[in-house]
Amino acid sequence: MKGQQPPQGSLFACVRLEQMIPGDHLLRRLQRAIDFTFIDRLTEPLYSGTGRPSVPPQVLVRMMLVGYLYGITSERRLCQEVHLNLAYRWFCGLSLEDKVPDHSTFSKNRHGRFAGTNLFREMFYDVVRQAQAQGLVSGKHLTVDATTVAADASLNSLEPIIVPLSPQQYIEQLDESHPAASATTAPPSDDPPPSPPKLSNDTHRSATDPDARLFAKRFQKTQLAYSDNVLMDNAHRLIVDVEVTEPNLHVEGQIAGEMVERSRLRLGLDPQTLGGDKAYGYGAAVRRICEAGVIPHAPPPTQGQWNVQGIFGKDQFGYDRERDQLICPAGKRLRKRTVHARNRQTEYAARLTDCRDCPLQAQCTRARYRVAHRHWDQDYLDQAEAARSTPGYRWSQHCRKRIEHLFAEAKEQMGLRRARRRGWTNVTEQCLLTALAQNLKRIVAAWPGRPRPVAFPQRLGRTLRRLLNLWRRSLTCGRPLNCGAN
């Protein structure tokens, strides 16, 4: 007979959340693989020994991790999801009768109890140490890169930077603006109104988020943004350090050395090489990385106009350190002429008589005499150039692509494409918790208790691909299939 739904549900139900969660659920595997007692240990000094009991810090932090693991960017919606989802309740330590904390609890703790502390960075390092204990971090070969995080602010919020005036400057400004100072009034002009000032980080700041900076990529619109710098271990794609800076290539290149030194100090790593893109191949970045005690594996910067025109490049000029002179391929000396402090380069010029009678003038310069530059960090650039000819450089550049996978995962699945809150502190918290959630996923994926799928033999796969290619060629040329047998 046809079944009917009872009009009134049962008032009581005997349910155990432990039995409702599947064994292969991400949160259950995470509970087995990670020791979350570090949350209580790190938050113990932040709570008073007297007063009313607060919301347990385990509940707050676990709820925040659920939001990052499942891409829930709103704390209001996070509280609703935890209220409805049994797996979220179980992971956060809440029973069916327990009330989910209000969304304002996160803001009160963020701006009150957790303000001015390195709580989230210490949590991040503690998870990395657990990965080290499981053998997931080698610390020998690292990769660094940065991605842009759009700020929660519009360009309409930009305002000119007002520099405070001294008392004397203020009096002079009042005298100039006084009506008696100008006896005659200037006649009206037919000239068009002046164009609005160009937006720049030196002249404008956002009233909504003063810590954000203007940034524009090629073929993209200008926006207010931050830069999320990530240091990754190549072994299992574990993130070992995170730093938020302004979106400036020069700042990103030099912060890499600081992250390497901090990982050595905080985690006990002994890195040997550091891979990166072209942003880490210029002089100041290479110098900072070499000073950190690692070998930079970064492509060279874009070649100058001399190499494009088929003229001798800077690498074909020798350098006399005692006399501070360059030696051209013809053996002539170029003497020091100008110092460019902004570009950290010294300009050298040859004599007119030396270039006029030189047989290699057509291959050296199109001008009357040759001018060449030498970077102040050229010795470090030579070390980076020597490292590019080693076998490890190719492998570092191959592993460098893996950090792009982390950025794609963080932006598409964890909401890192845009800042959730405003200010450098809040963006740092978001980047740290995003990296922490990514590390949790990597630890769970390598956990030995997880049932792994049967791997397809690599040699058998290559044999089948070879047979398939031979079969396709036989169909194309009309010849019989030949597998290499005599």
For the stretch 365-376, pLDDT in tens is 888 888 888 888
Give the pLDDT of residue 121.
95
pLDDT tens digit string along 311-339? 787 778 888 888 888 888 888 888 888 88
Confidence of residue 481 (pLDDT cuts 50, 70, 90): very low
Q: Which domains does the chain have, with CATH numbers?
A: 17-117 (no CATH), 135-152+220-299+388-431 (3.30.420), 305-376 (no CATH)
Give the pLDDT of residue 80.
95
pLDDT at 449 over 90: no
**Lowest model confidence (mean pLDDT) among 94-98, 320-324, 464-468, 474-478:** 474-478
Percent of the chain clearing pLDDT 90 (strictly above): 44
pLDDT at 398 over 70: yes
**In terms of pLDDT, which residue wins out, 255 or 193?**
255
Give the pLDDT of residue 477.
55
Q: What is the mean pLDDT of residues 270-289?
A: 90
What's the pTM?
0.81
Q: What is the mean pLDDT of residues 439-467?
A: 69
Give the pLDDT of residue 306.
47
pLDDT tens digit string along 182-224? 444 555 655 666 666 678 888 889 999 999 999 988 778 889 9
pLDDT tens digit string along 45-78? 998 888 888 899 999 999 999 999 999 999 999 9
Average pLDDT in the chain: 84
**Lowest model confidence (mean pLDDT) among 79-93, 319-333, 434-448:** 319-333
pLDDT tens digit string along 1-39? 666 767 766 666 677 888 888 988 999 999 999 999 999
pLDDT tens digit string along 147-182? 999 999 999 999 888 877 777 776 777 777 655 544
pLDDT at 454 over 50: no
Give the pLDDT of residue 177.
63
Confidence of residue 242 (pLDDT cuts 50, 70, 90): very high
pLDDT at 303 over 80: no
The structure tokens listed for 380 are 């470090």
Give the pLDDT of residue 332.
85
Give the pLDDT of residue 483.
46
Give the pLDDT of residue 233.
94
Give the pLDDT of residue 325.
86
**Lowest model confidence (mean pLDDT) among 2-16, 331-345, 425-439, 467-481:** 467-481
Give the pLDDT of residue 144.
94
Confidence of residue 455 (pLDDT cuts 50, 70, 90): very low
